């Protein structure tokens, strides 16, 4: 019976070995020396190094969810202001003066169609009041967190970081790990930029300097914003603008870097169909007026509209460097953050620390592996050498599986590999001790081998399954380094279960088929 599936197990072992080598090749130095045609035909998976091994940066951001809530109320107030209503926002409530029945109908119709979630709390002849319910507050906050993670992920993907870690921590925090990032300041500016783009009309009827000292009040519905500080031609110039934006950046379908007449970079915007129609209407209705392009409360340009602009395109010009223009295009293309973010923690890991960690981890792994191999060969003699063979297969399959899964290797992940080595040895010790007991009791060698594997089977499976459950829980609820440990441990346990029960037994089955085993070096 023990010979029945030997060929099948050998075929499986050979298949796993070939696949592991193929998947592991891109992670080895020899990969670059292979012909390009061969590399194109082979799997492209590779093991990425984590933040602690490769260096890079780690950020913890707090999403200011309350700003998303207040922003929702401000948008409602702004929309109703266009209807001639003057709302007052206070906390989570909106209050409207109602001078006549027509205004009342305008407010009630708008709320019914556009914001039915608002709760009416006051309805008097002269005033209407609505409250944003707590259920809607929670929905807005949850949506703000989800959208913030999506926007940040899009920005990082376009920034070109391989294997980033972006995950939620707690209620309002986001952990971001960027292995290999060499310009942390640029990355922080790119990730944290709110990127709220607005088009506002400039008011050239008055000098903005008149209102800067605070003695002269600003006209109703107007504000003062400043130019881009990096713009040498007009940085920190004050602009008097209409507060209400005519158009926002959510209508942008694409943003690209282009070059002007003198090879200076600028950002070219393309609007979606709705945005194209609206921009066409804005430029048609405001010819000979200045239209300010405002990003995060900073005026990047305020050109005069000479004529109606059709085609759904606009430009953001300024004294941009190529890097600044690229980053601006990225944040506009990936969308605006739904709420501002605050950087709570910024840790930069230098590449020298990463090299030290790799060296120490590799040394620890090699020392552990060599000591285990020597112990097994000395203590269990030939059977120990067989166990060493299975252990080396275990390591090969583990690294091949990690490459196939595009897993990220971290320092705790190396610890998981070392623990897998220990569990592989433990499994073989259980099997060999059972075989020894059977041989001492006088049973034939072949029967002792079968009995040793059969009796150790349940114990090995039980220990592996319980450890596997622990590793899965660590992966589900752990973060960062804990997940790295859980990944290598999970994959290693699954592979070790196969190599310890099938890998070593194949050798004994082959020996018994070639000759009658009367003695076993164990």
For residue 233, is pLDDT > 60?
A: no
Give mean pLDDT, residues 483-487. Answer: 82
Considering the domain architecture, whether residues 507 and 362 belong to the same structural domain is answered as yes
Judged against a pLDDT cut of 90, whether residue 47 lies above it is answered with: no
Cβ-based burial of 64 (10 A; exposed 0-12, middle 13-18, buried ≥19): middle
The number of helices, as runs of H, and strands, as runs of E, in the chain is 14, 19
Residues 366 and 498 placed together within one structural domain of the fold: yes
Predicted local confidence at residue 44, as pLDDT: 65
Per-residue pLDDT at 134 = 93
Q: Which of 91, 117, 136 is the last residue of a domain?
A: 136
Task: Read off the pLDDT of each residue in 477-503 and give the average, rounded to a whole number.
Answer: 81
CB 460 within 8 A of CB 424: no
Q: Could you tell me if 245 and 212 lie in one domain? A: yes
- pLDDT of 241: 93
Domain that holds residue 115: 65-136
Query: Model confidence over 100-118: pLDDT tens digits?
Result: 888 888 888 888 888 889 9
Mean pLDDT of the chain: 83
Pick from 318, 348, 378: which residue ends a domain? 348
pLDDT reported for residue 133: 93
pLDDT of residue 314: 83
Q: Which residues of 345-384 are buried (b: 16+ CB within 10 A; e: fewer)?
A: eeebbeeeebeebbeebeeebeebbeebbeebbeebeebb
Residue 39 structure tokens: 């590399």
Number of structural domains, the chain? 3
Q: Is the pLDDT of residue 94 over 80?
A: yes
147 within domain boundaries: no
**Pair 217, 298 in one domain:** yes
Among 48, 55, 29, 24, smallest CA distance to 357 is for 55
Whether residues 495 and 436 fall in one domain = yes
Measured between alpha carbons, how far is 272 from 296 in angstroms, rounded to an integer?
Answer: 21
Pick 27 or 67 by higher pLDDT. 67
Longest dimension (CA), the chain: 109
Mean pLDDT of 455-460: 87
State yes or no: pLDDT of 120 exceeds 80. yes
The reported pLDDT for the residue numbered 163 is 67
Q: What is the 3-state secondary structure (H, E, C) of 226-256?
A: EECCCCCCCCCCEEEEECCCCEEHHHEEEEE
Residue 377 has pLDDT above 80, yes or no: yes
Q: Are 445 and 519 in contact (CB under 8 A)?
A: yes
d(CA 187, CA 57): 9
Question: What's the confidence (pLDDT) of residue 201?
Answer: 92
How many other C-beta atoms can be found within 10 angstroms of the C-beta atom of residue 462?
Answer: 10
pLDDT at 354: 59
Q: Is the residue at 423 inside a domain?
A: yes
| Range with the largest mean pLDDT of 286-300, 306-320, 403-417 | 286-300
Q: 515: pLDDT confidence band, cut at 50, 70 and 90? A: low
What mean pLDDT is predicted for residues 56-84? 85
* Confidence (pLDDT) at 232: 53
Structural domain includes residue 521: no
> Do residues 239 and 321 share a domain?
yes
- What pLDDT does 1 receive? 39
Please indicate, yes or no, if residue 203 is contained in any of the structural domains: yes
**Is residue 154 in some structural domain?**
no
Please tell me whether residues 489 and 386 are part of one structural domain.
yes
Confidence of residue 137 (pLDDT cuts 50, 70, 90): very high
Q: Which of 445, 455, 459 is nearest to 508 (CA)?
A: 445
Answer yes or no: are the C-beta atoms of 392 and 365 closer than 8 Å. no
202 pLDDT tier (thresholds 50, 70, 90) = very high
- Tell me the two tokens of residue 242: 């209409």
Tokens of 103: 């205004």
The span from the CA of 522 to the CA of 511, in Å, is 14
Q: Is residue 168 part of a domain?
A: no
| 228-239: average pLDDT | 67
Residues 364 and 508 grouped into a single domain: yes
Whether residue 138 is predicted with pLDDT greater than 90 in this model: the reply is yes
| Greater model confidence, 274 or 353 | 274
Indicate if 116 and 93 belong to the same structural domain.
yes
Average pLDDT over residues 196-210: 88
Average pLDDT, integer, range 74-79: 81
pLDDT at 362 over 80: no
Identify the residue with better confidence: 405 or 82. 405
For residues 488 and 500, state if they share a domain.
yes
CATH number at residue 342: 3.30.1360.200
**Residues 499-512 as b or e (16 or more Cβ within 10 Å = b):** bbbbbbbbbbbebb
Percent of the chain with pLDDT over 70: 93
**Does residue 447 contact residue 438 with C-beta atoms inside 8 Å?**
yes
Which residues, at least 6 apart from 93, have a Cβ–Cβ distance to it below 8 Å? 121, 129, 130, 131, 132
CATH number at residue 88: 3.90.1070
Inside any domain, residue 161: no
* pLDDT score of 353 more than 60: no
d(CA 54, CA 409): 10
Q: How far apart are CA 266 and CA 319, in angstroms?
A: 8
231 pLDDT exceeds 60? Answer: no
CB burial class (10 A; 0-12, 13-18, 19+) of residue 472? middle
Pair (72, 218) in one structural domain: no
- Bridge partners of residue 122, in order along the sequence: 129
Decide which of 136, 159, 183 is a domain's last residue.
136
CATH number for the domain including 355? 1.20.1640.10
Judged against a pLDDT cut of 80, whether residue 421 lies above it is answered with yes
pLDDT at 2 over 90: no
* Both structure tokens of 438: 């059977």
Q: Quick check: 230 pLDDT over 70?
A: no
Range scoring the smallest mean pLDDT among 206-215, 291-300, 331-340, 390-399? 331-340
> Mean pLDDT over residues 358-370, rounded?
80
Residue listed under structure tokens 């699954």: 494
Does residue 32 lie in a domain region? yes
**Residue 85's pLDDT band (boundaries 50, 70, 90)?**
confident
pLDDT at 93 over 50: yes
Residues 360 and 378 reside in one and the same domain = yes
pLDDT of residue 246: 87
Judged by phi (left if over 0) then psi (alpha if -120 to 50, else beta), residue 84 lies in left
Residue 33 has what DSSP assignment? G
């Amino acid at each position: 019976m023990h010979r029945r599936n030997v060929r099948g197990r050998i075929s499986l072992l050979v298949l796993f070995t070939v696949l592991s080598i193929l998947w592991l090749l891109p992670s080895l130095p020899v990969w670059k020396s292979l012909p390009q045609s061969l590399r194109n035909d082979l799997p492209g998976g590779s093991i990425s190094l984590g933040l602690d091994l490769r260096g890079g940066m780690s950020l913890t951001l707090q999403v200011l969810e309350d700003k998303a809530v207040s922003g929702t109320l401000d948008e409602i107030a702004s929309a109703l202001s266009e209807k001639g209503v003057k709302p007052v926002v206070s906390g989570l409530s909106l209050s409207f003066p109602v001078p006549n029945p027509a205004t009342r109908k305008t407010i009630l119709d708008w709320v019914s169609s556009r914001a039915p979630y608002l709760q009416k709390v006051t309805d008097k002849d002269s005033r209407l009041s609505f409250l944003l319910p707590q259920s809607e507050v929670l929905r807005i906050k949850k949506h703000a967190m989800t959208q913030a993670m999506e926007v940040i992920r899009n920005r990082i993907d376009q920034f070109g970081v391989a294997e980033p870690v972006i995950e939620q921590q707690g209620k309002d925090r986001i952990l971001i790990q960027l292995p290999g990032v060499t310009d942390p300041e640029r990355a922080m500016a790119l990730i944290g930029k709110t990127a709220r783009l607005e088009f506002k009309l400039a008011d050239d009827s008055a000098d903005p300097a008149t209102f800067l000292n605070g003695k002269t009040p600003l006209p109703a519905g107007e504000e003062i914003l400043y130019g881009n500080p990096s713009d040498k031609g007009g940085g920190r110039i004050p602009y008097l603008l209409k507060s209400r934006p005519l158009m926002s950046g959510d209508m942008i379908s694409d943003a690209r870097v282009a070059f002007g007449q003198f090879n200076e970079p600028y950002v070219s915007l393309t609007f979606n169909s709705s945005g194209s129609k609206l921009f066409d209407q804005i430029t048609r209705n405001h010819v000979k007026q200045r239209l300010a392009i405002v990003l995060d409360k900073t005026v990047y340009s305020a050109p005069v509209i000479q004529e109606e602009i059709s085609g759904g395109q606009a430009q953001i010009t300024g004294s941009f460097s190529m890097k600044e223009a690229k980053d601006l295009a990225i944040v506009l293309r990936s969308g605006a953050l739904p709420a501002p973010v605050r950087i709570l923690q910024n840790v930069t890991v230098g590449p020298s620390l990463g090299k030290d960690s790799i060296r120490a981890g590799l040394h620890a792994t090699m020392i552990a592996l060599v000591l285990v191999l020597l112990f097994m060969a000395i203590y269990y003699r030939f059977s120990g050498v067989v166990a060493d063979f299975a252990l080396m297969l275990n390591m090969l399959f583990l690294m091949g599986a990690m490459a196939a899964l595009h897993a990220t290797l971290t320092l705790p992940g190396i610890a998981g590999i070392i623990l897998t080595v220990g569990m592989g040895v433990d499994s073989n010790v259980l099997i060999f001790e059972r075989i020894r007991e059977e041989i001492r009791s006088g049973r034939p060698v072949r029967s002792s081998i079968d009995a040793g594997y059969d009796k150790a089977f349940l114990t090995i499976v039980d220990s592996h399954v319980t450890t596997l459950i622990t590793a899965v829980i660590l992966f589900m609820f752990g973060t960062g380094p804990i997940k790295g440990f859980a990944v290598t441990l999970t994959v290693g346990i699954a592979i070790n279960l196969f190599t310890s029960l099938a890998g070593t037994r194949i050798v004994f089955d082959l020996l018994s088929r070639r000759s009658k085993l009367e003695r076993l070096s164990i």
